[in-house]
A = this chain, B = another copy of it.
Amino acid sequence: MKIGELAKRSGCSIQTIRYYEKEGLISAPERTEGNFRLYNSVVLEKLSFIKNCRALDLTLSEIKHLVSLQNSPETPCEAVNEMIDTHLLAVESRIEDLQKLHGNLKQLRLKCGNARSVDQCGILGELLPKPERSPSGTRNERSPSGTRK
């Protein structure tokens, strides 16, 4: 099986397969005389494993870690559980962030009806820095919520 067929059968692109090889997620296969990669069906399972992990948003480095664990089958699997737990926490916190963001966007959207001109746009107005409205006692330390991923 050459790389093109493997790509079709695995659902990974040719470049992705070569990339995984370069990153050490799958081992370098034999080559034909003409230097073409030659795969057997075992690599299909490895790619499937990787795809399953990627579908859970595990990073390649985490997957690499899991692969290396599989190569020492007698060690305890605690590390696996921890990785999933850590991941769960990250996903949960990301969801919370996005929900806050969603609320902010919803609220912002309400600030403007249609058909105004840009300088009267309620949304743009809201995004501008708050004018220092009160002459006595400045308190302006609020930084807008928001997170990245």
Give A contacts to B, CB under 8 Å: 11, 44-45, 48-49, 51-57, 66, 69-70, 72-78, 80-81, 84-85, 87-88, 91-92, 94-95, 98-99, 101-102, 104-106, 108-109, 112, 114-121, 123-124, 127-129, 143-146, 148-149
Which residues in B have their C-beta under 8 angstroms from that of A120?
77
CB pair B55–A144 under 8 Å, yes or no, is yes
What are 17 sample pairs from A and B whose C-beta atoms fall under 8 A apart?
A: A51-B143, A56-B101, A56-B146, A57-B101, A57-B146, A57-B148, A66-B127, A69-B118, A70-B118, A74-B117, A80-B112, A80-B123, A81-B109, A81-B123, A84-B108, A88-B105, A91-B105
CB pair A117–B73 under 8 Å, yes or no, is yes
Residue of B nearest to A83 (CB): B123
With A48-B129, A101-B57 in contact, do A77 and B121 touch (Cβ < 8 Å)?
Answer: yes
CB pair A66–B144 under 8 Å, yes or no, is no
CB pair B146–A74 under 8 Å, yes or no, is no
Which residues in B have their C-beta under 8 angstroms from that of A70?
118-119, 124
Residue of B nearest to A143 (CB): B11
Q: How far is the CA of A56 from the CA of B101 in the complex (A)?
A: 6
